[in-house]
Amino acid sequence: MRMSQLPTLVSDFFDFLDSPVWRAWPFNAGYGEHILPSIARMAFVVLIFAVIIIFLRILFGPNGPLRDKEMDREADEQRATERAALDAQLSRGDITEFEHTLRMKGLKD
């Protein structure tokens, strides 16, 4: 492609984007319209992504039907190990009762 054809190519590209089919595309530059329709389209796209994320969280989140049970078992074992280490630190006097309580709250299920 020659550099002399670049302005024509760019002009044709913007004419293509200005066609009525692409005016409703949510990621356009917003030429010739007010800001509210652009904001509404962006909010709609955010809503779609939020629904997808929530759907995946339900499926693969804690106690989800498609979640790998091995992950839950490993997490339970790790929490039990950390609780035992905290109890040992408390019995040795390395941490106070208050610190023990705070750290145990962080390890709750």
**Three-class secondary structure of residue 45 per DSSP:** helix
List, in order, residues 6 or more apart from 107 with CB less than 8 Å away. Answer: 79, 82, 83, 86
Question: What domain count does the chain have?
Answer: 3
pLDDT digits (tens, 9 = 90+) for 12-38: 777 766 665 555 555 555 555 666 776
Predicted TM-score (pTM) above 0.75: no
38: containing domain: 34-66
Mean per-residue pLDDT for 58-87?
A: 88
Q: Choose between 36 and 78: higher pLDDT.
A: 78
Q: What's residue 91's pLDDT?
A: 92
Distances in whole angstroms, Cα of residue 5 to Cα of each of 8, 14, 15, 16, 59: 5, 15, 15, 17, 51
| Statement to judge: residues 61 and 80 lie in one domain | no
Please state the φ and ψ torsions of residue 67, each to the nearest 5 degrees: -75, 140
| Statement to judge: residues 24 and 40 lie in one domain | no
Quote the percentage of the chain above a pLDDT of 90. Answer: 26
Mean per-residue pLDDT for 58-71?
A: 86
Q: What's residue 32's pLDDT?
A: 58
- Which residue type occupies 60? F
| Statement to judge: residues 57 and 38 lie in one domain | yes
Q: Where are the beta strands (DSSP E) in 1-109?
A: none
| Statement to judge: residues 15 and 38 lie in one domain | no
Distances in whole angstroms, Cα of residue 32 to Cα of each of 35, 38, 65: 10, 11, 48
| Statement to judge: residues 57 and 39 lie in one domain | yes
| Statement to judge: residues 100 and 78 lie in one domain | yes
Q: How far apart are CA 48 and CA 54, in angstroms?
A: 10
